[in-house]
Amino acid sequence: MMTEQFLKNAFLFRQPILNRQQELAGYQLSFQSNDALAADGNAPGASAPLCAAYSELGMRSALGNACAFIGIDAGFLHQEAIELLPPEGVVLELLLDGVPDKTTLRRCQDLRARGYSLALTDYRGIDDRSRLLLPMVEVIKIDLHAAGEGRLGDLAGSLRHLPIKLLAQHVDSREQLERCRSLGFDLFQGRHFAQAEIVSGRRLSASQAALIRLINLVGRDVDTTLIEDAFKHEPALTLNLLRVVNAVGHRGNRFAQPVTSLRHAITLLGRRQLQRWLSLLMLAPGSAAADPARSPLLQVAALRGRMMELLVEVGQPRDQKLADLAFLTGILSMMPIALGLPIDEILEQIAVEREVRSALCRHDGLLGKLLALLERFDGDDAAGCDQLLSALPGHFDRHTLNTCLSAALRWLNGGSD
């Protein structure tokens, strides 16, 4: 009964976990609510419903190759239901206070023998608690806020020669990231990659300027010949476009014949998909020829765009144009972080519909309200999400948001949603 209430009434939040190459390695999943029922997804008693949500929402297929880090409290650790989780898809974070007893240690050994990866949270150094668990865990989580700058080196140094991955929790800045990397940390949890210094008047790179020119051409619905000519001046983009169209095909189906003509590729991909692809490339690291799938920021943007689109389909299921604008709004909302420019300066260079501009600059209209909702959702703000959900027209609730998250993740990882 409690599990059903959690699934219906709490928000399923996720926080990205990156590897040393700054690629997405997994998500920390947690339940949160602004009421007493589910105040903290990692609090005692939250493990069972969180695991139930993982199964019910199809998170294994939704996350693709990314692991789910799930907190397991002492009570749930001994339940057989934990074994319904796929060993290859999760990391079980042990939320254990005090020195573990023999029963707990045997259970940890059994889970490890079954193929589960275990992580020890709230590591404070070698003590009676950690000494018994260290031989069984693959990941140690160190909270930077709790450790402080002074103790961080000692904590990491005490584990340096063990076959254990160190995960830095609450990484808030590039400086903290580099410090942790130098100390041997392997994984990094936080939103540091989604932060940037916004500077008015910053100059765009040549590749970014080229992308903006192409986005404007596509958005203004000019003749395909003009778009083709613009692509010809950008050989790296042309190569990427041909590669994408040949690999994916039209609407996800491979073509019977390879696409060899640039004009043919533009026509087959379609203006709407071309605009989406070019906008996403704006968020990719490095040059236009870089692999955008390796950018966590791009994945966050694509996920937000898809969730915007799905939420519009819930509220106004027959308005395909608004759904298309919703996806674009979600992507463009991450542009200030990617480019380090204020959104109003970006929109001076990119032609967008009035509804998109109002949503991005003032959070006006349905698109603006949905964007504000997803910004709160990305920030793990349960109270803010509730306030905005109640203000939206139609049948929006916590379960709607959780379901759209699962569907968007599945789409992002190549599923059919």
- H/E element holding 33? none
What is the reported pLDDT for 288?
Answer: 40
CB 311 within 8 A of CB 326: yes
The Cα–Cα gap between 266 and 264 comes to 6
Q: What is the mean pLDDT of residues 172-198?
A: 84
Residue that wins the pLDDT comparison between 50 and 374: 374
The Cα–Cα gap between 76 and 172 comes to 31
Going by C-alpha positions, the residue among 351, 355, 360, 356 that lies closest to residue 219 is 351
Q: What is the mean pLDDT of residues 196-214?
A: 75
Q: What is the mean pLDDT of residues 88-115?
A: 94
Q: What would the pLDDT profile of 322-340 be if each residue is shown by its tens digit?
A: 998 999 899 999 888 888 8
- Has residue 224 got a pLDDT over 90? no
What is the reported pLDDT for 329?
Answer: 93
What is the reported pLDDT for 119?
Answer: 97
What is the reported pLDDT for 289?
Answer: 40
Instruction: Specify the pairing of strand 11-18 against strand 139-143.
Output: unpaired
Indicate the fold that domain 2-194 takes in CATH: TIM Barrel (3.20.20)
Domain range list for the chain: 2-194, 206-412
Q: What is the mean pLDDT of residues 140-166?
A: 90
- Has residue 293 got a pLDDT over 60? no
The rounded mean pLDDT for the chain is 83
Q: What is the mean pLDDT of residues 223-237?
A: 84
Binning pLDDT at 50, 70 and 90, where does residue 38 land? very low
CB 144 within 8 A of CB 171: yes
Binning pLDDT at 50, 70 and 90, where does residue 42 land? low
In DSSP terms, which residues pair with 189 in a beta bridge? 17, 169
Binning pLDDT at 50, 70 and 90, where does residue 262 land? confident
What is the reported pLDDT for 43?
Answer: 52
Instruction: Specify the pairing of strand 117-120 against strand 187-189.
Output: unpaired
The Cα–Cα gap between 294 and 19 comes to 11
